[in-house]
Structure 1
């Protein structure tokens, strides 16, 4: 009979998780199975029960395994996170106060970015080093940004823009909701924070979906209607995908330029035609 005791299998799982802290659910299940194989425990909990038992034990030391999904492809992931008051303070063991101040400023820039891009360019990020008037040089700033990426606090796009990683969204969710209430959106389907996804084309409507949640929601419906305001849903109206947004902006600017050029040519042709008529 399973009595949800904290066993050697749980201890092995926790030890294996401490170095990673962030992994896919498939990897978590693999570790869970190997932990039981190594301990030869007969009465095994299901994976869900196993994680619940772990969290019950970890609550006393302000740690918790949290489940979420990759915002881009929907892959289920687990993260070992801190659960106490100011989550950013947990970085103090790895970063100096100056470095944490820089990270706080990056969070602010990312969350409050224009048009819900939820990202910041590398140039802007490095300019903040100077603005903060710290001892961090530009070259050290570049090293620190890479460290934030390596430690899974930040992600960087192919276009060189920084955004919050899933680790930051999971571990700092209370801080983000408290400090940036007017900027943070929750997915209308799963209610998790969403920084990359689809949005209603009506400016005043607050309906937001993760890409994978949008697929799951609309694939079961004949008509793609916003569940909030009942307006037709346009899946190409995305946010947070900074590279795609930038590409669309460049395309719009290029199209506008071509139209302007055609207008000049057309006007010249019209003038020539008028002269010919005369």
Structure 2
């Protein structure tokens, strides 16, 4: 007689040792993919019910979801939550992270990094979401060479302007640069801890953990509200946009060919939406412009722009010209 296997986690109404062990795994690793969770949860469930051993393949997505929901119900009063997000770089890889839901995620980094190193991380974010995020080119990543150059503290940047002129002056006096060797160490740590992703083309961008923890910070810092004046035509400046499909932040994906349209997609979400439509009939769901599928968000926007440089104009000169045009548009 075939044994009826239940793929759900232990159905104990109480918060038991299985849940504690699952949470402990996140306390030690902070971020895990589904493939990394499966063997851990299989061992936990086998230990919980030795008479019903589980293999990695027995762990379904529903089993993971049920365990996460049970743990979240317990840790929510402590301002912690296990969140999930798709990895934009691999399209469909689901990543889970244990995050603090109330405190500033950058403040939490103080347990790992010094004040000067955190200031360096903020400069990296400024480079990703301000310097390399224009109306014409939404790169939202920084080349490794530029990342090392940012080790030197600038005289003034976005983060130093946040507290007003007096605070900015004081902050500028206190923040110091770090060495290039130290910058290399910080970058390697951010990658190993799941905050940054480093591509084979030597670009650094935010990994799923950072996007989950920094979602509110990114929007508050880089999205500017309308100017507080009498100009009724004043519009907000939006640098951080959500996917039209899953409503999560897009830093790697596709954009509408109409630069005045704010529709953005993750690659997998766009594929799912447009898959049932004939290629020559695809339209942006908002502005109805032809959907070309070749307007990128992320490092592909930078690489594509560099390859398309023509007429002897260097890509650097072209970018400087585009940035000047962006300033005029704003």
Counterpart position of 1:97: 115
Higher fraction of helix: 1
Counterpart position of 2:233: none
The structural deviation recorded for 1:61 is: 2.4
2:201 maps to 1:159: yes
2:288 maps to 1:233: no
2:244 maps to 1:191: no
Distance across 2 between alignment mates of 1:220 and 1:99: 48
The structural deviation recorded for 1:39 is: 1.3
Distance across 2 between alignment mates of 1:24 and 1:143: 24
Q: What value does the CA root-mean-square deviation take over the aligned residues? A: 2.4
Distance across 2 between alignment mates of 1:135 and 1:3: 53
User: Which range is displaced more, 179-188 or 25-34?
Assistant: 25-34
Aligned pair count reads 255
User: Which range is displaced more, 142-151 or 182-191?
Assistant: 142-151
Counterpart position of 2:227: none
Counterpart position of 1:250: 306
Residues 156 and 163 of structure 1 are in contact (CA less than 8 Å); yes or no, is this contact kept in structure 2? yes
2:176 maps to 1:134: yes
Counterpart position of 2:30: 21
TM-score by length of 2: 0.71
TM-score by length of 1: 0.83
Which is higher, the Rg of structure 1 or of structure 2? 1
Counterpart position of 2:273: 217
CA pair 141-245 structure 1, distance change in 2 beyond 3 A:
same
- Deviating above 6 A after TM superposition, structure 1's stretches of 4 or more consecutive aligned residues are none
Counterpart position of 1:205: 261
2:61 maps to 1:39: no
User: Which range is displaced more, 31-40 or 227-236?
Assistant: 31-40
In the alignment, structure 1 segments of 5+ residues that lack a partner are 259-278
Counterpart position of 2:328: none
Counterpart position of 2:221: 179
Distance across 2 between alignment mates of 1:201 and 1:135: 39
In the alignment, structure 2 segments of 5+ residues that lack a partner are 1-9, 52-61, 155-174, 224-237, 314-330
The structural deviation recorded for 1:34 is: 2.2
